[in-house]
Structure 1
Amino acid sequence: MRHARRLKLLFWILLGAVVAPPLAALDVDRAREIYGPCAACHGPFGAGGKKGEYPRIAGQSAKYMEQQLKAFQSQLRINLPMYPYTKERELPDEDMKLVAAYLAQIELPTRPPVFKDSDDALTRLLAMEKIMIVPRAEGDIDKGRAVYQQKCAACHGKKAQGRGMFPMLVGQYTTYLKKQIDAYLKADRPHDEDSAASGTLYTLQGGDIQDVLAYLTSLQEVGP
């Protein structure tokens, strides 16, 4: 038993050694200062709000977020509220990298935490505020799974966690995703593909998009 405990302790020490350097290298205080104005819309933990009017950005790919901030700055992606915040004098490149890295490492659990008797009311409140569960969207989940795995998984990952410059989709507000899809189809927002009608989104049939959205909401690891 004592040997097992020692092995377990060694495991956590080694894990900490692996995880600690990247987190230690992140200037969290500075990142939070940069993020301050963003919290007014995206919330203190990057969960977004107003039923998807403001998207979730916590846990999103740092590369993707940095890319989008630059797109807002250059107005390649038109978003008038974002433009003043991303002007070069307000948000230089190094600040973009830092705040993107900071947001990428924030986890928003989908299960209520288990509290200790010693946890005070503020600790409990802050922990509950970080929980984010996107309501289940209507649609055929099985059909959505088939469409997603065939059309979307190559870029966004099999479990929609994102990949490199492609954003995480799981855990995002359904209304926000639908709004962005509509913007892509109308060429109001540039997609990573050409905006020509040969892009992946243009190949979806009938209710495919709604079925995919339903499937995405089913991927959340929600407890009983």
Structure 2
Amino acid sequence: MNAIMPNMDLATRILIVDDDPGIRRLISSFLDKHGFQTATAANPIEMREKLAVDHYDLIVLDVMMPREDGLTALRSLQGRDAPAVIMLSAVGSDVDRIVGLEMGAEDYLAKPCNPRELLARIRTVLRRREKGGARSPAAPAAAEDVHDQRRFQGFRIDMDMRMLYDPDDRMVNLTDGEFRLLRAFVEHPRRVLTRDQLLDYARGEDSDHYDRAIDVQVSRLRRKLGETRGGGELIRTVRNEGYLFTPTVAKG
């Protein structure tokens, strides 16, 4: 046993339970690359078979499965030595989330979810369990995992985890280019930024010829921020100059 455990994921065993083989492969492959030991099950019956012969520290459990759903399966995962459970569901309503948490799940994520967010939630749950702490349904991310966060117009962006949440606290899926562009706007709010400045601020290592896509990226970002659904003009075009990010941005 290592006293310091520089990489807490090395010996951690995770079971992914989902009836979709593509999702099982995606999550398993992603977590394997981050040092976890994973196994998969297509349904709760296979889950219980694997639990009977192996120990798992955490289960990623889908809610919507045929014959026996995840919430029913969750009832059988009670007890002092039961693994932690993170629920995944395509039905991301508050009611379903609350029911899952009240039944003993440590956390709940709506599908489709960003694998990076799932990874962050898994690490948070495992750290909390290691310290013997109880889960907090109102705050799924532990305080130690709160990084550089900014807020604008009801949105929340985690600059370190590269995640954006809308005013209903649902994750907005952004491409790498869209995130870099939004970060540039958030770090320079209420200032006119030329296309060349946006290119400099948002450029990544793999962004050759990115300048030619600035206008396209802005259009896509506007759509994802909900401007076309009455969310207001968050990114204003300034003729012959560039773009202006109009909201006030607050830290924390």
TM-score band, normalised by shorter chain = under 0.3
More helix by share: 1
Q: Return the structure number with greater relative CO, CA threshold 8 A, min gap 6.
A: 1
More strand by share: 2
Instruction: Mark the structure with the bigger radius of gyration.
Output: 2
Give the TM-score taking structure 2 as reference length.
0.24
